[in-house]
Amino acid sequence: MRLTTVLCKQHIGRMFKYHWRIQSKRIPVDTKAESEIQARGIPVYEPNDIIEEHRQLVQVTTAKPLVPKPIPRDLTHPLYHERICHMYRDHNVLLKGLDQGKILTKTVEIKTGLPVEIENLLGVHCLPDQDILVQRCILKSHVFDAMQVKLPKIRDPQRPAWNFPRGYGITDKRRTITCVALPYLIYNLLSPKLIQLCEFACGNSTDAVLGRAVVQDETVFVPFEKDGDLIQLELTVNFMLNSAAPLPLYADADEVQGTQDIPLPDLYPIKHTITLEKENIYQIRNVFPVLKGSKFPYIHTAIFHCNETEVKNIYETPVTEEQVQGRTLLKSFAVAAAHAQQRFGVNVKDLPEPITVQCVQTDGRLFHFAVFQLNTLDLDGTEGKKNIFWMLPRIPLFTSCMYVKGRPLLEGYNSEVFSRLLAFCSNGLPS
Amino acid sequence: MACALIVRTVFRSSCVGEVMRAKSSSNLGKACNRMIWNDCPKFAKREGRIWKEDVPKPGNGRSFRRIVHYPEEYTVQPLNVTNLAGRDPVTGRVVAKGIGGGIKHKYHWIAWIREGPKEGEPLEERVIQIMDDGCRTAKIALVAGGDELKYILATENMKAGDIIKTSAHIPRIPVRGNEGDAYPLGALPMGTRVNCIERFPGQGGRYVHAAGTFATVIRHVGDRVIVQMPTKHELSFSQECMAVIGRLSNVMHNKTPIGSPQRLRELGYRPRSGLWQRKSGRHGRKIRPLPPVRVLDKPPPERPEPIVLSLPEQ
């Protein structure tokens, strides 16, 4: 017995759906009705204005969240300014490197190499077993340190598809910190450790330890005007030795006057503020980490780190030698200028007495030694007195330091670097 | 897990009959479907999705290789991309065959619009660096002028330190420019090799981007300039369309064999069949006479957005 009848009907649901899919999209034809109606003075409304339900939103107050929401970085921000400020921070790199730095800070080099007085200090102080101590220090920071973290990916531009095994080990930041402890062998890790060593070396004179103070990882803020642009440097000093007496001047008044005739480099058609970060939200601050009235108010030596993973070009190509040198110049200028603004007042232009700073920039392997003399903070234009910069090219402390076939190996140790560091630290001590 | 879900949903429902049906194995699937639909609409099966959705056709200037995440303002910072492997990002269906895999490259945003002064001295900029860009065949040049940085396509002999000029002025006597200089087509003499030609004035360089290619200025007709493209087709542009002088870099690109199937994969292509395809046009075109000069006089009108009518489902 049949329970249902056969209707012989087609299932046309799909046909309807398909038809609707096509026909649901309509492109309106301009009938010119709107312009015609408007011409006759009849008001035209958008249909949605009439059809749509207009809802009034009621403000509801809720309990404040435990973590306050970050303030949106827009026009309503309390620190928003109409005027753009060009910021230079630790991760920034100057496009044209040293040349651009010279224009920004109105600085010239009067001779290549360091001042003669500092060159003469080479080898005056030394430690017994100095090189062995330094090599041990390098091995400790590059090989024996217990840090084991994931390191950045390695890429070979010749074989872009090759995936290297992911490395674990000591980060470049940690390496620099520990390696620069050599003077701290003159105080404890390489800037701390190397410096500690330097203080042992100068240990016969109590001034080396008692006459110095150390500042670590502090930030200096230096705002200044340059050719109508507002520029602020916000830079970290990783390690700074301060002394009770200022360093001597390495360029006398005649040489300073002579800088008027030395031209600054020409960047045309590039402007000197290129690659500085343009910001509307900022706070103008004058900060020098050592308080006024300190027993050790004078900057002696400043050490800056330059880590590959932190200091980058915005276009992600490797930082060049020129750019590293430019970074040393700007950092040493920032330290000296912050000190000058604290000592002589924020608006000081022509310094009553110049300020000298010794600077070292390092990535743990390459060391860049420089001396900076701040003569003027009047940075407008290219005429007038200029600041003076002495520097050496970067010197490697060693060629390689790593495990080779399971054994720690330090190759190509260069004793010159520590001697120079020692000369810097011992500057101003009775020999 | 699935059983637990079914049993729970079954016991919650008030209908005893359903419980009975759910127990018999033959009706399990049906009951399951229905219960999932009622209780967890998230897991609803997308019925007949093949013909419900519009899958775009390849072409029309859309790339199914990658999406570039552009920020609001122009930057020289290499941009992140999402690789699509030939798929339409909305439906997830394959649109362009043969794309997929390969090395993921960051995208360098090229400043296509070269703006220069209408009169007076041309704008000068300096080339900082010539770089490789994984997302295109020609090399790119990092250019600095004022306090701005930008990328342009590098020409054959461009090198770091070069000064490049840009001007929108059309003088009475044609300009003899250097490589990398951008001028309106009307300012260039006949026979000049150009690249990055604007389709319509002010829209930014659009034609001739590939490595080693160039177009040639053939003749000036009134206020229009006729240019022979790398395909040998002739196009007639407005004389105000900007073009960059010179042949694009990486000239050996089309003469360099890919080398190995693995290298092809590195470039982001999937394996090819190797079959002789008579009709697909893959193995060369038939030689035909060139089409007449195509005149690009005004941009095509924008197609109005269709109004989508919706019928609420019952």
Assign residue A106 a region (left: φ > 0; alpha: ψ between -120 and 50; beta: otherwise).
Answer: left
B142: nearest CA in chain A?
A315
Dihedral Cα B149, B152, B156, B160, nearest 10 deg: 0
Point out the residue among A270, A273, A315 whose CB comes nearest to the CB of B76: A315
Q: Which is nearest to B237 in space by CA: B296, B170, B300? A: B296
Domain boundary among the residues B251, B271, B295 is at: B251
Which residues of A fall below an 8 Å CB-CB distance to B?
A: 14, 17-18, 20-21, 24-28, 95, 160-161, 268-271, 273-276, 278, 314-317
Asked whether the predicted pLDDT for residue B21 surpasses 60, the reply is no
Is the same domain home to B247 and B127? yes
Domain boundary among the residues B202, B226, B251 is at: B251
Q: Give how far Cα A400 sits from Cα of A141, A172, A180, A403, B142, Å.
A: 13, 14, 16, 10, 33
Chain B residues within an 8 Å CB radius of A95: 128, 144, 149
Q: Give how far Cα A380 sits from Cα of A88, A340, A389, Å.
A: 18, 17, 18
Point out the residue among A24, A271, A316 whose CB comes nearest to the CB of B146: A271
pLDDT score at A196: 62
In a domain, B15, yes or no: yes
Task: Count up the domains in chain B and report the number.
Answer: 3
- For the stretch A126-185, pLDDT in tens is 777 888 888 888 888 888 888 899 999 998 888 888 999 998 998 988 888 776 655 555
Average pLDDT, chain A: 87
pLDDT score at B25: 41
In a domain, B59, yes or no: yes
Asked whether the predicted pLDDT for residue B222 surpasses 80, the reply is yes
- For the stretch A76-103, pLDDT in tens is 999 999 999 999 999 999 999 999 999 9
Asked whether the predicted pLDDT for residue B28 surpasses 70, the reply is no
- Between chains, do A25 and B309 touch, taking CB under 8 Å as contact? yes
In a domain, B298, yes or no: no
ipTM for the whole complex: 0.85
- For the stretch B182-195, pLDDT in tens is 999 999 999 999 99
**Rounded to an integer, what distance in angstroms lies between the CA atom of residue B180 and that of residue A324?**
30
Identify the residue whose tokens are 């300096």.
Answer: B126
In a domain, A6, yes or no: no
Asked whether the predicted pLDDT for residue A280 surpasses 60, the reply is yes
Token couple for A420: 């120079």
Radius of gyration of chain B (CA): 28
In a domain, B237, yes or no: yes
Point out the residue among B77, B103, B307 whose CB comes nearest to the CB of A315: B77
In a domain, B206, yes or no: yes
pLDDT score at A219: 95
Asked whether the predicted pLDDT for residue B8 surpasses 50, the reply is no
pLDDT score at A176: 82
Handedness of CA A399, A402, A405, A407 (dihedral sign): positive
Whether chain A has a CB inside 8 Å of the CB on B160: the answer is no
Length of chain B, please? Answer: 314
SS3 call for A279: strand
Asked whether the predicted pLDDT for residue A430 surpasses 70, the reply is no
Structural domain boundaries, residue A109: 92-144+172-426
In a domain, B104, yes or no: yes
Is the same domain home to B86 and B193? no
SS3 call for A200: helix
Domain boundary among the residues B206, B226, B251 is at: B251
Token couple for B264: 């092809």
Q: What are residue A193's phi and psi, to 5 degrees? A: -75, -45
In a domain, B144, yes or no: yes
Whether chain A has a CB inside 8 Å of the CB on B162: the answer is no
Least confident of A1-10, A196-205, B264-273: A196-205
Instruction: Give strand pairing partners of A86.
Output: A231, A278
What CATH number did the domain enclosing B216 receive? 2.30.30.30
Dihedral Cα B287, B290, B296, B299, nearest 10 deg: -30
In a domain, A35, yes or no: no
Chain B residues within an 8 Å CB radius of A26: 306-307, 309
| Residue A358 contacts residue A392 (beta carbons within 8 Å) | no
In a domain, A249, yes or no: yes
Is the same domain home to B196 and B174? yes
Is the same domain home to B144 and B205? yes
**Rounded to an integer, what distance in angstroms lies between the CA atom of residue A141 and that of residue A139?**
6
- Which residues have CB under 8 Å from B158's CB, separation 6+? B127, B130, B141, B164, B179, B180, B246, B249
Residue at B207: amino acid letter = Y
pLDDT score at A231: 95
Task: Count up the domains in chain A and report the number.
Answer: 1
Chain A residues within an 8 Å CB radius of B310: 24
**Rounded to an integer, what distance in angstroms lies between the CA atom of residue A366 and that of residue A67?**
43
Query: A154 vs chain B: nearest CA distance in angstroms?
Result: 14
In a domain, A81, yes or no: no
Structural domain boundaries, residue B76: 55-108
In a domain, B143, yes or no: yes
Higher pLDDT, A41 or A427: A41
Mean pLDDT of B119-144: 95
| Residue A274 contacts residue A314 (beta carbons within 8 Å) | no
Query: Mutate which of A91, A270, A314 to test chain B, going by most B C-beta atoms within 10 A?
Result: A270
- Between chains, do B304 and A27 touch, taking CB under 8 Å as contact? yes
Q: What is the DSSP letter of B242?
A: E
- Which residues have CB under 8 Å from A421's CB, separation 6+? A182, A183, A186, A194, A195, A198, A360, A367
Point out the residue among B76, B125, B266 whose CB comes nearest to the CB of A314: B76
Least confident of A98-107, A224-233, A386-395, B37-46: B37-46
